[in-house]
Amino acid sequence: MKKKLIAGNWKMNGSLAANETLVKGLLAGLGAPVCQVALCVPSVYLAQCQALMAHGAMSLGSQDVSQHEVGAFTGEISAAMLQEFGVHYCIVGHSERRQYHFESDVLVATKAQRVLACGITPIVCVGETLAEREAGRTEEVVKRQLAAVIHANGCCISEVVVAYEPVWAIGTGKTASIEQAQQVHAVLRQQLQAASNQADRIPIIYGGSMNAANAAQLLAQPDIDGGLVGGASLKVSDFLSIIASAC
């Protein structure tokens, strides 16, 4: 059976002191989990978290990457730089980047290519807004977002993680119902199957107000292979209990 993946997305939260408490608390409570656990931290804390997590049971992740390989791009961070800090996963196309930084489907697909070329697994986020869901456009939107990544990455598509994050469920306390989430995951699975004969091993994880109370039910669905957890990944006990639901 495929191992579930539980990835925390700290977003723009943390401090040297808070990170140390959080990571040490997680490591102390984790033991040897039978699922995969990752922490996607702000880039300035990669070195700190790499050191804190060395030899531990969690993988390091980043939250974004430049679409460029190298050069005069002030403020950007390349995939090769992430690789130097032991980054294993990199979120690309998070809805907050699509919304606030106007990232297009093509740009997100290029970012996925950049990290794959450095041996880093992209966590490709897709998801519809509330207006798109209410207009009955959920499938069309998530398929369009994923199609760009499939198109740009060819057979490497089997090396990605896909995260379905309905925009209206992020940070709002509103979770997609179990049926809504499973239904979209099944659509994404079919799309991946049409693109790759390895599709069944591609993790499709759910994000959007996942918490200690709803994780077990979501993670029990046949096409939900894990979670991308925002707010609840900042609290040791909440994140550990989500991990326990997955293991």
Cα separation, 158 vs 44, in Å, equals 30
CA–CA distance, 93 with 170 (Å, rounded to integer): 14
The DSSP symbol for 39 reads: E
Whole-angstrom distance, CA of residue 57 vs CA of residue 37: 7
CB-based contact 205:161 (threshold 8 Å): yes
Q: What positions carry a catalytic annotation?
A: 94, 165
Environment class of 15 (CB within 10 Å of its CB; exposed 0-12, middle 13-18, buried 19+): exposed
Buried b (16+ CB within 10 A) or exposed e, 58-79: bbbbbbbbbbeeeeeeeeebbb
What's the min distance (Å) between Cβ of 163 and ligand 13P?
Answer: 7
Nearer to ligand 13P, 126 or 232 (CB): 232
Nearer to ligand 13P by Cβ, of 196 and 207: the residue is 207
Question: Which residues share a beta bridge with 90?
Answer: 62, 122
Cα separation, 227 vs 224, whole angstroms: 8
Q: Smallest gap, in angstroms, from Cβ of residue 3 to ligand 13P?
A: 20
> Rounded to whole angstroms, how far apart are CA atoms 225 and 38?
14
**Nearest-approach distance from CB 208 to ligand 13P, in angstroms:** 5
- Binding stretches for ligand 13P (CB under 6 A): 9, 94, 165, 170-171, 207-210, 228-232
Nearer to ligand 13P, 203 or 208 (CB): 208
- Smallest gap from Cβ 169 to ligand 13P, in A, equals 6
Shortest reach from residue 211's CB to ligand 13P, in Å: 7
**Nearest by Cα to 83 from 114, 108, 54, 56:** 114
Beta carbon nearer to ligand 13P, 142 or 229: 229
